[in-house]
Every structure is written in structure tokens, then in C-alpha cells.
Amino acid sequence: MARNTKRVTYKNIVGARLLSANGSLVYCDNCEKVVGSINALGYNLMMLVFCCTCGNYGSIEISRTKARYRSDVRANRMPVVKNRACCCAECGESLLAVMEDRVETYSFFVECKCGAQYDVKPSFNKRLGETLQMFKDSKDKR
């Protein structure tokens, strides 16, 4: 499988931490739990928002292209789930995995390195826009 060698050009991370700069394990910034993982070589654009079971919201946006997450763009397509990881239905690359027992909710929008775009997931029915609003509301309260 071809590696994605494009450099990460944009990164905005709030309430979360990544083990390495471009991906790998995702930690809740509040309780330090691992809540998921991102394949550092899989994406062009990754937008992940989660609410940890500790109540903290985290948001991760990383991009290798000029593309940014736009709330009006919806892929309306779900990735394929293999071994609890969300994988691209086109090229088979793994994209991300979220430990669903460690989060209250999560949403994502991801563009695979092959250009295919995905959002939502069957077991969590909140839209990314709604989750982002909850995220913003939680930050406003502080």
C-alpha cells in the first residue's frame, strides 16, 4: 500500500492529545485515557470530535491538503469497519478507530489519501455538526 507522504499542513487540536504529531494514539486531555487512534498515513483530512466518558470534549482537525472541514459538506458515506477500525471502502486503508466504551459520543469526517470521503458511523447517530455544537457549548461554559 502506498504511503501518504504529503506533509501535514494544518492542525488544530483542542481537549485532546496525539501520541505522535500526525496521528497514532488519541488521548483525552483531561483524564489521559486513550480514546482511539488515527492512522497517521491514511488521511488527507481528518476531523474527529469526541466526548470522553470523563465529560471532556476533544476535537482534532488535521489536514494534508488545502481542504478544511466544512460543516456544510457531508460525505453521507460510512467507512467499512474491520477489527473495530474504520477503513476506506475504496482502497482498504485504515483511517481511524475510536474506543466506543471510552467515549459518550463521537463523530468524524475523513478524507482518505485516495480521495474518498466518509462521515458518520452506524452505532453513533449524531452528526458531526451536532457534536461540534456540543463541543463548543462545553467550551463556552468554562
Positions touching Zn ion (CB under 5 A) are 28, 30-31, 52, 54, 56, 88, 90-91, 93, 112, 114, 116
Minimum distance from residue 1 beta carbon to Zn ion (Å): 10
Minimum distance from residue 28 beta carbon to Zn ion (Å): 3
What is the torsion angle, in degrees rounded to the nearest 10, for the CA atoms of residue 102, residue 38, residue 86 and residue 134?
A: 50
Question: Which residue, among 69, 51, 59, has the nearest Cα to 16 in the 3D structure?
Answer: 59
Nearer to Zn ion by Cβ, of 90 and 100: the residue is 90
Nearer to Zn ion by Cβ, of 56 and 59: the residue is 56
29: buried, middle or exposed (CB in 10 Å: 19+, 13-18, 0-12)?
middle
88: buried, middle or exposed (CB in 10 Å: 19+, 13-18, 0-12)?
buried
Minimum distance from residue 7 beta carbon to Zn ion (Å): 19
Nearer to Zn ion by Cβ, of 53 and 133: the residue is 53
Minimum distance from residue 10 beta carbon to Zn ion (Å): 20
